[in-house]
Amino acid sequence: MIAAAVFIYIKAGAFTGTVCLTGFLVLMGLVYLLERKNLARRVCEIFKYLPIVWASLFLALSYFYSESNAIMVKIDSVLSQRLMVSHKVWSEYSIKPFGQFIEEQGWGGVADPTGIDPAKYFFIDDMYLRMLFEYGIIVFAVVLILLIFIGHKAIGAKQYVLFAAIVMIGVHSFMEHHLLELAYNPFLLVLLAGIDTADKEKSGRKI
């Protein structure tokens, strides 16, 4: 899997994917060590509310972004100007219960993006921000609750690989907008799946 992370970065320049894949490997190593001490479930229970933490952290970063803050500008340069674009959303739109239409300008489908004025680029990569402003605060809250529920199911079934995946998807969603797309995040199907629990195991139903 380490080789896969390196390959993705070299071939696609997918910085976010590489970081998240590496982070996933680190998490699995920690889970392995915790399981040996019978602490995995207890620790995972503490962190199952991470979707709320990630959303709060990333929304705060974009809200408080300022070009006059050298540290924020440096962070933004590492994040490919995502904070600057996200801050623009806070400045120009308001949060609504059921969302709103937001006109965007990205590079998708453009053969030569160098011909487009960079100042006109406006695409919401931050999925938390997209849900909050474009889909509305109700959808935003429901999705966070569902992510926590998936994590809860995974922990109850001792499916710590699944839980680690949900944790890293939460990080990935700050940089990419594919959280609700099954092609990118099939783990949403866990909401409809019957998986083994720690108390009642049934053969043939494990993820």
What digits encode the pLDDT tens for the residues 84-139? 999 999 999 999 999 999 998 776 655 455 555 666 778 899 999 999 999 999 99
Judging by beta carbons within 10 Å of its beta carbon (0-12, 13-18, 19+), is residue 35 exposed, middle or buried?
A: middle
Unique residue bearing structure tokens 């710590």: 160
pLDDT at 199: 46
Return d(Cα 142, Cα 72) in angstroms, integer. 30
Domain boundaries, the chain: 38-192
Handedness of CA 32, 36, 41, 47 (dihedral sign): negative
Return d(Cα 59, Cα 51) in angstroms, integer. 12
Question: Looking at this protein, which amino acid is placed at residue 128?
Answer: Y
- Residue 60: C-alpha distances to residues 36, 43, 66, 174 (Å): 37, 26, 12, 12
The pTM for the full model equals: 0.81
User: What digits encode the pLDDT tens for the residues 62-95?
Assistant: 999 999 999 999 999 888 888 999 999 999 999 9
* C-alpha dihedral (110, 116, 122, 125), degrees to nearest 10: 40
3-class secondary-structure state, position 141: helix
Closest CA to 170 of 29, 81, 49: 49
pLDDT at 5: 54
pLDDT at 207: 43
Q: pLDDT exceeding 70 applies to what percent of the chain?
A: 81
Kindly give, in sequence order, each residue whose CB lies less than 8 Å from that of residue 193, ignoring residues fewer than 6 positions away.
Answer: 207
pLDDT at 25: 87
161 neighbors 29 (Cβ within 8 angstroms): no
